[in-house]
Amino acid sequence: MPDPARRTLLVALSVGVTACAVPGPQRSVVPRAGGRFVDHDSFSSAFVRPRRVRVWLPPGYDSSQERFAVLYMQDGQNLFDPPSPMAKGAWEVDRQLIALRRANAVRPTIVVAVWNTEGQRAREYGPQAPIDSLPAALRRIVPRDDGSGDSTPLADAYVRFLATELKPFIDARYRTRAGASDTVVMGSSMGGLISLYALSSYPEVFGAAGCLSTHWVITTNYAAFAASFAPGADGDPRVEQMAAAYRDWLRDHMPAAGRHRLYFDHGTAGLDGHYGPHQQKVDALLAAKGYRPGIDWTTRVFAGAPHDESAWRERLATPLRFLLGPAHAAPNRS
């Protein structure tokens, strides 16, 4: 059960209290694919740095009174055209949802794209409690040095921002289906790590998580663990130690099977080629906790797929169908 501080947060969440969240000025932008963007350019928080939050409202939102499921996505700057210059193309999530909706393969959905923060992505997306459980010498080198010299994890503050500030704001401002069964969180690589961490930390808020190319190895400090990431390397046992710490935490904190849906995948090329053995251990954990393959959990392997936005765009329709299919919608009440 939640501790008293957590109970206070949940009470605030249930009545939509967002006193510490300040969305900042907003702009409406017309995307190429259709629908409408509402950009909150500097959404401030009591817990994390301000960042851009982009809300995509699908075609038909403004001409109906319908309520919509909500998909919260990490690395928001890479989801729509034009993507970040560092990305290999955009996910084109708006185009894909429009096409899937026309085919009645997903329910009506709003996307909330949350930008990451320069220099702090690894600290915000790395699962904090598992990292904190590691020996001090290992804990200090898990994130790559961002130049600040501070490697303190920030994930607990980040998921608190998502669950107790951003979501209540979105539910108050837009016509949403606010229940957990219509609230999905998704990301790739470390964005997959933090999406699962958010659901497991706030299972009463998030009902489903999509984790593409989940970065089970946790570290982004590849130079410090070169024995695991260099071509032909034999592996560094500390990498498995980090992955095992997250599995141990999930064993104790992942919600019981039956009310949540989880999607995992990975490719086999590049960085994704390291994920298979770790994903198999997570799959065994899910099965032991009663999650049913193909019903409330699925894991897919995409042979030859690399670790980049082009690969995630290519297969994005698969998790969208699984997590947002019409069969899993809650009653659409005003």
CATH number of the domain residue 178 falls in:
3.40.50.1820
Instruction: Note whether residue 4 is domain-resident.
Output: no
pLDDT score of 122: 94
pLDDT score of 235: 82
Instruction: Note whether residue 332 is domain-resident.
Output: no
pLDDT score of 150: 87
CA-nearest of 144, 123, 306, 308 to 223 is 144
pLDDT band at 331 (very low <50, low <70, confident <90, very high): low
DSSP of 100-149: HHHTT-S--EEEEEE---TTTHHHHHS-HHHHHTS-HHHHTTSSPP-SSS
In tens, the pLDDT along 173-193 reads 999 999 999 999 999 999 999
Q: What are phi and psi of 267, to 5 degrees?
A: -90, -165
pLDDT score of 142: 93
Instruction: Note whether residue 289 is domain-resident.
Output: yes
AA identity, residue 183: T
**Token couple for 300:** 């897919």
Is 165 in contact with 47 (CB distance < 8 Å)? yes
Q: How many domains does the chain have?
A: 1
Instruction: Note whether residue 22 is domain-resident.
Output: yes
For residue 295, give its domain range.
18-324
Has residue 69 got a pLDDT over 60? Answer: yes
Write the DSSP symbol of residue 182. G
**Token couple for 33:** 């694919």
Instruction: Note whether residue 147 is domain-resident.
Output: yes
Instruction: Note whether residue 313 is domain-resident.
Output: yes
Write the DSSP symbol of residue 286. H
Instruction: Note whether residue 294 is domain-resident.
Output: yes
Instruction: Note whether residue 3 is domain-resident.
Output: no
276-288 and 237-253 helices cross at what angle (nearest 10)?
Answer: 20
pLDDT score of 105: 98
